[in-house]
Structure 1
Amino acid sequence: MSFLKDEGGQGAAEYILLFGGVIVIAIAALLIYRAYFTQNSGLEASQDIQSVRGSIPAKV
């Protein structure tokens, strides 16, 4: 019954689950932001950044 107490593969399984979760999050982010990555999307990240920077009040 010593094989029931063996936890040698537990760490590897946890790393596989963690790595899989990171991959899922990365794919979801790419799907959400894919409009910024396409050439003819009509969206321009630089214009968005300038718009956000312009809406922040300057410190005096």
Structure 2
Amino acid sequence: MDDNGQASAEFILLFGGIMVVVLLAIYMYNNYISDLSGEISSKEVREFNNQLNNLEKYFK
């Protein structure tokens, strides 16, 4: 019997399964970071605008 072929096939299946899990994790992480960056950016812009508005009184 050819055990080398079976071991190679099992290794390929294991590697394929790991790749599927890694790709799913990257996809989920990418969506999380995209959503988070939008919230951070809008919050930072809003705070920056507020600080500029507070400085405006010193230049009038």
Alignment TM-score, normalising by the size of structure 1: 0.49
Larger radius of gyration: 2
- Normalising by structure 2, what TM-score? 0.49
Task: Considering fraction of residues, name the structure with more helix.
Answer: 2
The answer to which structure, 1 or 2, has the higher relative contact order (CA under 8 A, 6+ apart) is: 1
